[in-house]
Amino acid sequence: MAEQVIYLNGEYVSKENAKISVFDHGFLYGDGIFEGIRIYNGNIFKCKEHLDRLYDSAKSIMLDIPLSYTEMEQALIETIRRNEFRDGYIRLVVSRGPGNLGLDPTRCPKAWVIIIVEQLAIYSEEAYRDGLVSVSVVQRRNIPDALNPKIKSLNYLNNILVKIQANLAGVGEAIMLNAQGYVAEGSSDNIFIIKKGVVYTPPCYIGALEGITRAAIMELCDKLGYKLKEEPFTLHDVYVADEVFFTGTAAEVIAVREVDGRQIGAGKAGTITTHLLEEFRKIVDVDGVKVYE
Ligand code: PMP
């Protein structure tokens, strides 16, 4: 295994030398954006979709990414190659860069680009089979008129507060509602429920990230003939669902067996969830950009 190398503004540096300025606005204010991407068997899964979301987030917050789309893709590939990774997790961060202590982003002349490739701590196969226990939390999702959850911004405090609640409850992932009380998403995962064979997920406009895994699962539902409805639902619908699962780059498709003390379905990963996970795993090393060919 090669020594870990990090891409930092066009240079490949060791972990010890990967340092950022204390005047960086990403650090000071969460002013920046990021992506979490997976590599499966040398394939950057849904690379284009992740880069599209990155450049959309940048446009929305008026952040000028100093690399073209192609240069960014090349930087990803090169960082993975230098780390000799075939499987792992890529964290791509674009921060507004160093400025002064004021808020004004025009004082930050150049955005910073950081790419980190790491091993991923993933759920056990047992967790995929048995499902997670989850709880709903009091923190509501940012309203879209404030910091729109569609922007994958570096400001994750809303999500971190949810994670703290999840930790206090002793669960791995929690459920956030939006300001109107509809189910939005997890702290870092999208949510789906299944009732009478129909798959439901909240529309992202109510306050959820447009997850790449979410989109992949929606496509698979279409391909496999499962009826899918993108519509708002409440915690009641979650409690009485036949199956519940979260989706995310790290989590993939993970079943939920209990929510707020209510057993979901048979109390383990349901048939449709399991089928979707199996089919998802068939595409992860196919659909994307190959690093070593
Ligand atoms: N929601 C939030 C808040 C997230 O941070 C993430 C990413 N982990 C997701 C959903 C899932 O998105 P994706 O499938 O693109 O990883």
Residue 71 lies in a domain: yes
Dist. CA 51–CA 29, nearest whole Å = 23
Residue 98 lies in a domain: yes
Is residue 168 classed exposed, middle or buried when 0-12, 13-18 and 19+ CB atoms within 10 A define those classes? exposed
Q: Are 209 and 150 in contact (CB under 8 A)?
A: yes
- Residue at which a domain ends, from 118, 138, 154: 118
Is 64 found in the same domain as 44?
A: yes
- What's residue 209's pLDDT? 98
Is 189 found in the same domain as 57?
A: no
CATH number at residue 174: 3.20.10.10
Containing 190, the helix (H) or strand (E) segment is: strand 190-195
Is 185 near ligand 1, meaning CB less than 6 Å away? Answer: yes
Dist. CA 34–CA 150, nearest whole Å = 12
Is 73 found in the same domain as 154?
A: no
Q: Are 181 and 143 in contact (CB under 8 A)?
A: no
Is 132 found in the same domain as 195?
A: yes
Output DSSP code: residue 72: H
Residue 135's closest CA among 261, 236, 243? 261
Q: What is the pLDDT of residues 222-255, one digit of tens each?
A: 999 999 999 999 999 999 999 999 999 999 999 9
Q: Are 82 and 5 in contact (CB under 8 A)?
A: yes
Nearest atom in ligand 1 to the alpha carbon of residue 50 is: 15
Is 74 found in the same domain as 192?
A: no
Q: What is the pLDDT of residues 266-289, one digit of tens each?
A: 999 999 999 999 999 999 999 999
Phi, psi of 249 (to 5 degrees): -55, -45
CATH number at residue 67: 3.30.470.10
- Quickly state the pLDDT bin for 68 (edges 50, 70, 90): very high
Question: What mean pLDDT is predicted for residues 62-75?
Answer: 98
Nearest atom in ligand 1 to the alpha carbon of residue 190 is: 10
Residue 50 lies in a domain: yes
Q: Are 290 and 42 in contact (CB under 8 A)?
A: yes
Question: What mean pLDDT is predicted for residues 73-92?
Answer: 97
Is 269 found in the same domain as 212?
A: yes
Dist. CA 136–CA 166, nearest whole Å = 9
Which residue type, as a one-letter code, is found at position 213?
Answer: T
- On the question of pLDDT at 92 being above 90, the answer is yes
How far does the centroid of ligand 1 lie from the alpha carbon of residue 211, in Å?
Answer: 5
Q: Are 174 and 165 in contact (CB under 8 A)?
A: yes
Is 222 found in the same domain as 91?
A: no
Is 65 found in the same domain as 141?
A: no
Q: Which residues pair with 245 in a beta bridge?
A: 192, 255
Is 246 found in the same domain as 109?
A: no
How far does the centroid of ligand 1 lie from the alpha carbon of residue 145, in Å?
Answer: 19
Q: What is the pLDDT of residues 175-209, one digit of tens each?
A: 999 999 999 999 999 999 999 999 999 999 999 99
Q: What is the pLDDT of residues 110-136, one digit of tens each?
A: 999 999 999 998 899 999 999 999 999
b vs e for 216-227, b when ≥16 Cβ sit within 10 Å of the residue's Cβ? Answer: bbbebbeeeebe
Is 136 found in the same domain as 109?
A: no
For the record, the structure tokens of 142 come out as 């940012």
Number of domains in the chain: 2
- Residue at which a domain ends, from 100, 118, 136: 118
Q: Are 247 and 4 in contact (CB under 8 A)?
A: no
Residue 291 lies in a domain: no
| Residues spanned by the domain of 63 | 5-118
Q: Which residue owns the Cα nearest ligand 1 atom 2?
A: 188
Residue 75 lies in a domain: yes
Hey, CA dihedral for 209, 259, 257, 180, is it positive or negative? negative
Is 243 found in the same domain as 165?
A: yes
Is 214 near ligand 1, meaning CB less than 6 Å away? Answer: yes
Dist. CA 210–CA 215, nearest whole Å = 8
- Residue at which a domain ends, from 118, 136, 164: 118
Residue 290 lies in a domain: no
Q: Is 195 a catalytic residue?
A: no
Q: Which residues pair with 194 in a beta bridge?
A: 199, 243
Task: Say what the ipTM of the complex is.
Answer: 0.99
Nearest atom in ligand 1 to the alpha carbon of residue 249 is: 16
Is 247 near ligand 1, meaning CB less than 6 Å away? Answer: yes
Which residues 6+ apart lie within 8 Å of 63 measured at CB? 32, 33, 57, 94, 96, 105, 111
Q: For the chain, give the mean pLDDT.
A: 97
- What's residue 121's pLDDT? 80
Q: What is the pLDDT of residues 142-181, one digit of tens each?
A: 999 999 999 999 999 999 999 999 999 999 999 999 999 9
Residue 288 lies in a domain: no
Output DSSP code: residue 24: B
Is 38 found in the same domain as 147?
A: no
Is 159 near ligand 1, meaning CB less than 6 Å away? Answer: yes
Residue 289 lies in a domain: no
